[in-house]
Amino acid sequence: MDRITPDRPHALHDAAATRHIEQRLQQSLPPYTLMQRAGHASARLAQALAPHARTLWIACGPGNNGGDGLEAAALLRQAGRPVRVTHQADPARLPEDARIALQRAREAGVCFGPPPAPGSLTAQDLAIDALLGIGAAPDRADTGLQHSLAALAGCGAPILALDIPTGLQADTGTVNPKLIAPSQGGILASARFHAQYTLSLLTLKPGLFTAQGRDMVGAVWYDDLGSRAQQDPPTAWLAGAATPERRLHASHKGSYGDVAVIGGEGLARAGRGMTGAALLAATAALHAGAGRVLLALLDGNTSFHIDTAQPELMLRSAGALDLRHGAVVCGCGGGDAVRTVLPRVLDEAARLVLDADALNAIAADASLRRQLARRAGAGQPTVLTPHPLEAARLLGQTAAEVQADRLAAARRLAEDCGCTIVLKGSGSIVAAPQRLPSINPTGNALLATAGTGDVLAGMVGAGLARDDDAFAAAMAAVYRHGALADHWPPGAPLTASALARRQ
């Protein structure tokens, strides 16, 4: 059993792949073996998490996830631990293994009864969610399951979810509204029901690490139950830290590439000033290790002459840039003005990062979309860094549809555009044609502030200037971007300008 940390990559398997692995193992192992292993792993982690618990309460559902909980209950009772079970199931309709687990729990003397009263458990106790796992949710609202979920949320003890928190979709990280209803402001009720710990059994599931998953699962532990499931073809990867760059003594600024940042529509043109976005991207590229950074503001640099704090930034007009070398970051704060430079950028840039208004312009202009396709056909490295609404515009969908299945949306966009895609958000996804997508494990809500996306675009540009592999450059930048937020000084505000410099 291991605790999942973001220092190394991990294979992820969706529900279909997990069931295939489970079926294969069940054919090769004696009956009930997998449930015994799952129960043993669950009981072992429960005892480690709550060694002084006065009560270990397990909410068990009607399927094999409930059977895992029942087997854990039997083992905990045999070990002399104070365990009680609420069983939301008709014993006559249980799967065979779950029926055996129920009998074992009864024979061990486990106490069965209703959920504990709200607030009756304490922080030293433990509640275990064994209601559904990756099992199919009911077709209609199930009052018994909802009652158990409400009891879990209000019990007062930390929650350990077995396999996956009930109501969370294993493949997408979204919640089932039949079990967990949305609350005011669009913030899901996962803010009220979430696990402090999740023990993922047999495989690691993508939904644990993206969308609402990261809010609901807490610390993730993993036990493959002896399956060696990591050797099976994965659905996606949970990214690990990139190998640190080794810079040779015998190198110079040309060894690390040029980044040209084009964006920042001016106040005089649009009635709004967005030069800050381009400056943030340029600052980030500079601090991420680019050899040189050239900044071309789309107001012709009339509103910006020199940043005395960063005199290293070299001002250029967009028309004077040689786009055939290094990397171009285009679109940050570009407004409508970016449309005038995009045809040339798409045609000439050797390596290209497209963000923000450049993405919106491409979504609205079929000729620009065709130019993007030609870049893909010519093998020119290109990275798109959309947030969900920008991705939705490119896909002809709504942002809600993108968020409903982030992995599928990123894969589709990568294939449609022939580019590397960074779909930003909780558990940012990096996807590219004919490659398994990667979910980023770093980052937190400190990044939910204006300008951090511009910083990421600049960081991707710096990596791309040094490396033709757009996928690797994107993954390394996304990981580092999130890791900076994860190690931010406690209590200090995170601003995009501070983030751009803290590398």
Domain boundaries of the chain, sorted by first residue: 2-238, 254-501
Structure confidence at residue 180 (pLDDT): 65
Structure confidence at residue 381 (pLDDT): 97
Whole-structure pTM value: 0.93
* Between 387 and 227, residue with greater pLDDT: 387
Task: State the DSSP string of 68-129.
Answer: HHHHHHHHHHHTT--EEEEE-S-GGGS-HHHHHHHHHHHHTT-EE-SPPPTT-S-TTSEEEE
Structure confidence at residue 271 (pLDDT): 53
Of 147-161, 240-254, 408-422, give the range with the top mean pLDDT. 408-422
Pairing of strands 420-423, 258-263: unpaired
Structure confidence at residue 190 (pLDDT): 41
| Range with lowest mean pLDDT among 56-65, 222-231, 370-379 | 222-231
> Residue 181's pLDDT band (boundaries 50, 70, 90)?
low
241-265 average pLDDT score: 88
> Residue 191's pLDDT band (boundaries 50, 70, 90)?
very low
Q: By percentage, how much of the chain surpasses pLDDT 90?
A: 77
Task: State the DSSP string of 207-226.
Answer: GGSSTTHHHHS-EEEEE-TT
Spatial neighbors of 222 by CB under 8 A, at least 6 apart, are 1, 2, 3, 4, 10, 199, 200, 204
Please provide the average confidence, as pLDDT, over all residues in the chain: 91
Q: Cα torsion at 274, 277, 278, 280 (round to 10°)?
A: 140
Spatial neighbors of 28 by CB under 8 A, at least 6 apart, are none
61-77 average pLDDT score: 96
70-91 average pLDDT score: 95
Same fold, 2-238 and 254-501: no
Structure confidence at residue 186 (pLDDT): 38
What CATH code would you report for 254-501?
Answer: 3.40.1190.20
Specify the CATH number for 2-238; select among 3.50.50.60, 3.40.50.1000, 3.40.350.10, 3.40.50.10260: 3.40.50.10260
Q: By percentage, how much of the chain surpasses pLDDT 70?
A: 91
73-98 average pLDDT score: 95
Structure confidence at residue 265 (pLDDT): 84
109-134 average pLDDT score: 94
Radius of gyration of the chain (CA): 26
Phi-psi region of 344 (alpha: psi -120 to 50; beta: other; left: phi over 0): alpha
CA distance linking residue 242 with residue 261, whole number of Å:
24
Structure confidence at residue 253 (pLDDT): 85
Structure confidence at residue 441 (pLDDT): 98
Tallying the residues shown for the chain, one arrives at: 503
What are 304-338's pLDDT values in tens digits? 566 656 788 888 989 999 999 999 999 999 999 99
Structure confidence at residue 231 (pLDDT): 77
What Å distances lie between residue 63 and 134, 295, 296, 446, CA to CA?
10, 59, 60, 39
CA distance linking residue 366 with residue 371, whole number of Å:
9
> Residue 189's pLDDT band (boundaries 50, 70, 90)?
very low
Which runs of consecutive H residues, i.e. helices, occur in 8-63?
A: 15-28, 33-49
